């Protein structure tokens, strides 16, 4: 039975990844400090093949059993989280990535870095292929996240080239689905929370900026396909179905049967104008492409939200 270590395994993506790996027959060690994750995301997991370790991966961390795969998912990921935790975000990209690469080296494990489409910054090339080097503002409020991920990518390549660690880099584009925190500030959970409560749905700017939303199940399938390949160069994983944020807000209002009106708020600093993955590399090298239609994914996400409405934090 292969063993996978998942940092950030109690977060949104990490917890779905743990579910997927366990269903595939892996033993899973989930390492998380619960900074932005929650035990609620993994409380349904039962059985001896799952181990939770409460630890901050920016500190020295040893694992007392052999591991075959390392998925480094730990990092604040939403703009409000990395605005609140700027130094931690830089540290988890630097020390956290050093530590997890060190674990992979010791165990001769394959290592996967969860990087992000934010390495492209406010892109001047559209859609974004992996060969595009990006347009990032290093000193803006988003710089802590974008540059931490860019550094982590450089570090992964250095461990590959100098230390012979078997590394992979996934550039994740906007992903949505059950277990996103209602107050994490990202578009889909915010729109859903507001629409379900018939409150005004707040769209930044005039809503003409675009995003491409991938359902979490497709994303996780892509991560595992990349981890199981021998590919070292970065691979975009995301859904190329691009839409404006205003269109997304309208979809959510329609799907939830909400009486909410859509209102507009000031655009955050350095908010990217466009986002769309070029997924030719994922198709060619991994045979991967998204399968879940937006309507289906949103319906599943809405069901999760409405069924968890009992919790006061999810309704306010």
Site residues (vs ligand NAD, CB under 6 A): 7-8, 10-14, 31-37, 56-58, 73-77, 92, 96, 114, 116, 172, 174-175
| SS3 per-residue string spanning 50-93 | EEEEECCCCCCCCCCCCCCEEEECCCCCCHHHHHHCHHHHHHHH
Q: What is the DSSP letter of 316?
A: -
Question: By C-alpha distance, which of 310, 304, 115, 129 is closest to 222?
Answer: 115
Report in angstroms how near the CB of residue 74 gets to ligand NAD at its nearest: 4
In the complex with ligand NAD, the residue whose CB is nearer, 119 or 165, is 119
Q: Are strands 175-176 and 262-265 parallel, antiparallel or unpaired?
A: unpaired
Report in angstroms how near the CB of residue 181 gets to ligand NAD at its nearest: 7
Report in angstroms how near the CB of residue 149 gets to ligand NAD at its nearest: 7
Quick check: 121 and 134 in contact, CB under 8 A? Answer: yes
Q: Can you tell me the distance from the alpha carbon of 69 to that of 71, in angstroms, rounded to the nearest whole number?
A: 7
In the complex with ligand NAD, the residue whose CB is nearer, 200 or 241, is 241
Q: What share of the chain is helix, strand, coil (3-state, %, to 5)?
A: 40, 20, 40
φ/ψ bin of 128: left (φ > 0), alpha (ψ from -120 to 50), beta (otherwise): beta
Report in angstroms how near the CB of residue 131 gets to ligand NAD at its nearest: 19
Quick check: 210 and 275 in contact, CB under 8 A? Answer: yes
- 279-293 burial: b if 16+ Cβ within 10 Å, else e: bebbeeebebebebe
In the complex with ligand NAD, the residue whose CB is nearer, 159 or 213, is 213
In the complex with ligand NAD, the residue whose CB is nearer, 34 or 154, is 34
Q: Can you tell me the distance from the alpha carbon of 272 to that of 125, in angstroms, rounded to the nearest whole number?
A: 12
Tokens of 108: 């001769």
Quick check: 290 and 215 in contact, CB under 8 A? Answer: yes
Report in angstroms how near the CB of residue 207 gets to ligand NAD at its nearest: 19
Catalytic residue among 82, 145, 159, 305: 145
Looking up tokens 């870095």, which residue turns up? 113
> Distance of CA 246 to CAs 117, 199, 207, 258, 304, Å?
21, 16, 5, 15, 23
In the complex with ligand NAD, the residue whose CB is nearer, 119 or 249, is 119
Active site residue 176: no
In the complex with ligand NAD, the residue whose CB is nearer, 76 or 127, is 76
Report in angstroms how near the CB of residue 174 gets to ligand NAD at its nearest: 5
Point out the residues that are catalytic.
145
């Amino acid at each position: 039975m292969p063993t996978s270590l998942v940092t950030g395994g109690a977060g949104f993506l990490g917890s779905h990844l743990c579910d997927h790996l366990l269903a595939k027959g892996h033993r899973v060690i989930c390492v998380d400090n619960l900074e932005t994750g929650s035990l609620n995301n993994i409380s349904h997991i039962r059985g001896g093949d799952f181990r939770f370790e409460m630890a901050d991966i920016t500190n020295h961390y040893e694992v007392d059993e052999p591991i075959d795969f390392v998925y480094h998912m730990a990092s604040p990921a939403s703009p409000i989280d990395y605005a609140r935790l700027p130094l931690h975000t830089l540290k988890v990209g630097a020390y956290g990535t050093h530590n997890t690469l060190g674990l992979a080296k010791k165990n001769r494990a394959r290592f996967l870095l969860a990087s992000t489409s934010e390495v492209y910054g406010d892109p001047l090339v559209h859609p974004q292929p992996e060969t595009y080097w990006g347009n990032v503002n290093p000193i803006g409020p988003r710089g802590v996240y974008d540059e931490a991920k860019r550094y982590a990518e450089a570090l992964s390549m250095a461990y590959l080239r100098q230390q012979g660690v078997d590394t992979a880099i996934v550039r994740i584009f906007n992903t949505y689905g059950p277990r996103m925190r209602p107050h994490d500030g990202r578009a889909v959970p915010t729109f859903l929370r507001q629409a379900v409560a018939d409150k005004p749905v707040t769209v930044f700017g005039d809503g003409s900026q675009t995003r491409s939303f991938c359902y979490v199940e497709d994303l996780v399938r892509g991560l595992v396909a990349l981890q199981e390949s021998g590919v070292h160069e970065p691979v975009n994983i995301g859904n190329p179905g691009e839409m404006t944020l205003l269109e997304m807000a309208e979809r959510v209002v329609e799907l939830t049967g909400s009486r909410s009106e859509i209102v507009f708020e000031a655009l955050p600093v350095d908010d990217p104008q466009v986002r769309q993955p070029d997924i030719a590399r994922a198709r060619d090298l991994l045979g991967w492409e998204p399968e879940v239609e937006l309507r289906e994914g949103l319906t599943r996400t809405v069901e999760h939200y409405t069924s968890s409405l009992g919790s006061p934090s999810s309704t306010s």
